[in-house]
A and B are shown apart, each in its own frame.
Chain A
Amino acid sequence: MLIIGEKLSIMSKRVREAMTKKDKGPIQDIAVSQWNDGAGMIDANIGPAEDGGEDLMEWMVTTIQEAVQLPVCLDTTNYSAIEAGLKIHNNRWGKPLINSTSNDPDRFSMLELASKYNARIIGLTVGKGGLPADAEERAGIAAEIMARASEYGVQLDDLYLDPLVLQISTSQDHAIKVIQAIKMFQELNDPPMKTVVGLSNVSNGCPKLLRPVINNHFLSLLMYEGLTAAIADPVEVIPTVKTINVILGKTLYAHSYLEIS
């Protein structure tokens, strides 16, 4: 189970300020603590970044990889910012992950980048027409993204299908549909397709105390269905990841299993 540390996001005031001032300290502190907490990749969410996106992404990737030996998830809708990040990314610790493409023709250019720079890419199962209604519709869109990926020369092994997690407080019925979609995505190919979720979106809008409870239980169910990766807060979810791995027989039990990586 790959946890992609979510904390380096423009949504956070501390991170946003550090990005504006190009202050490496806070960015590297957060990257290092996520790494120590068990993240296997660091998400760099710079938002739409219409002005100076290339510089910002380049600076983020360099700053993160100076501090941690992990690949970076390049999280922006800005095509040229993604390309700038890919150019500078050090692949020694794994290929970068583009976040994201979808079934919207405007986003196909991201597949071109994935192919050109031999990167991994998230395929968000939405089209131009808006939100998918259920698991079947998500799987249908997934199949189309897979076809596009092959057209652009992206290996299916590098494609992570994302069923789009919605808020449980406003779209409760989608929680189970997302879980079903994770199962269906894997059946679209042999070997099974890889899957990813933006986990904490499920509890967006919920009271602060409830959020980790919902996130962790949701993750347990997704892991049971075979989820490959989650963009999440490692310190919050790693105990769940370890415990579910023990329950599913992927890790050998020992009394101290939570204490070891």
Chain B
Amino acid sequence: MAFTPPKETYTGKVYTLEIGVPPDTVRFGGENVLPLHGFEGIVPSRPVIAYEIQDIPPDDWPDTVKKPFKDVSDDPVSWAKFCRDALKARAIALRLIGTHPDRENRSPEDAAKTVRDILSAIDVPLIILGSNHTEKDASVLIAAAEAAKDKNCIIGKAQEANYKTVAAAAMANNHKLIAMSELDINLSKQLNILITQMGFDKERIITDPMCSALGYGIEYTYSVMERIRLAALLQNDATMQQPMLGDIGMYVWKAKETQARPEDVPPWGSLEERGIAWEAVTAIALIIAGAELLVMRHPKAIEAVEKVVDELI
């Protein structure tokens, strides 16, 4: 007798999101099955990986990941162009880290200028991220969202402390929005509800349950993502059907394993290879958990993940 694999039937479906301005758009989400379960339903899009760039030079990035960008990272526009033209980035994530009060404390106007410069230099789906200082982000993201008006970007991150302002800015300028909570599935759902109750379309939200790197709590992120996706698909929970973000680079490249030199820890082997592998493995784990949008740094790690996606999804 022929073997028939048992199939799960799902009642829910992940919303499809599209960012960018035609013809330079990317699309993600839309599946009605768990990750890698394409045989049970439809998976219309592959995960999108966005190259992370910054508004200021990446002084705090480890050498391994600074190196590929060393000729361009002094200027966000050249950096963005390099990612788009040389590395064929499908999307770019601009982190306005220079606006953080403990960094250069750049003004919202500075941030807006950076956004405008990039968008006038290249056509690319853009994700605009604050510095994760909830108070400062509120003003920075308003200015950045206005500067990118109608370019169909993603603005983030809206958190419990600032979601009203950030969501309003995204709504007024026709952007998508990242809603981030800190590794708590119930608060993640609550934040989505609160944002939707403001009149923000639930199909324009991306959920960020908060990322973590391999070896540094990835199991928490994995588990929250997995449970969000189960609620979305099996319980048909409309407040949990948003695509999910894995903001990977910033966590991975802080880990000891991406920085310790081989002479200090001989058994760990090549630093460069190790760092790239650390980022790639973290990303693949979160794709398996359900992430559709990833923000990453190292070109070789991204290449490795794309290859896995080619083969598995």
Q: Interface of A with B (CB < 8 Å)?
A: 250-256, 259-260
Contact = CB atoms under 8 A, between A and B. Distances in A.
B14 to A, nearest CB: 15
Per CB-CB distance, the 4 closest pairs between chain A and chain B, nearest first, are A254-B189, A254-B190, A252-B231, A256-B193
Contacts of A250: 235
Contacts of B235: 250-252
Contacts, number: 30
A95 B197 CA distance: 33
Nearest to B189: A254
Nearest to A245: B235
B185 interface: yes
B74 interface: no
Given A252-B186, A252-B189, A259 B197 contact: yes
Interface in B176-191: 185-187, 189-190
B138 interface: no
B231 to A, nearest CB: 5
B239 A260 contact: yes
Interface of B: 185-187, 189-190, 193-194, 197, 227, 231, 235, 237-240
A253 B193 CA distance: 11
Given A253-B186, A253-B189, A254-B189, 14 more contacts: A250-B235, A252-B227, A252-B231, A252-B235, A252-B237, A252-B240, A254-B186, A254-B190, A254-B193, A255-B186, A255-B190, A256-B190, A256-B194, A260-B193
A259 B193 CA distance: 9
B205 to A, nearest CB: 14
Contacts of A260: 193, 238-239
A113 to B, nearest CB: 30
Nearest to B187: A254
A251 B186 contact: no
Q: B interface, by DSSP: helix, strand, loop or mixed? A: helix
B164 to A, nearest CB: 15
A255 B185 CA distance: 12
A250 B189 CA distance: 14
Contacts of A255: 186, 190
Contacts of A252: 185-186, 189, 227, 231, 235, 237, 240
A255 B186 CA distance: 8
A225 B239 CA distance: 27
Contacts of A254: 186-187, 189-190, 193, 239
A255 B197 CA distance: 13
18 contacts: A250-B235, A251-B235, A251-B237, A252-B185, A252-B227, A252-B231, A252-B237, A252-B240, A254-B186, A254-B189, A254-B190, A254-B239, A255-B190, A256-B194, A256-B197, A259-B193, A259-B197, A260-B239
Contacts of B231: 252
Nearest to B240: A252
Nearest to A249: B235
A254 B193 CA distance: 8
Contacts of B187: 254
A157 to B, nearest CB: 15
Most chain B beta-carbon neighbours within 10 Å: one of A250, A259, A260: A260
Nearest to B227: A252
Contacts of A256: 190, 193-194, 197
Contacts of B194: 256
Most chain A beta-carbon neighbours within 10 Å: one of B235, B238, B240: B235
Contacts of B227: 252
Contacts of B193: 254, 256, 259-260
Nearest to B191: A254
A255 B190 CA distance: 6
A256 B239 CA distance: 11
A174 B187 CA distance: 42
Contacts of B189: 252-254
A127 B237 CA distance: 41
Contacts of A253: 186, 189
Nearest to B192: A254
A136 B278 CA distance: 62
Nearest to A256: B193
A252 B240 CA distance: 9
Nearest to B239: A260
Nearest to B228: A252
Nearest to A255: B190
B227 to A, nearest CB: 8
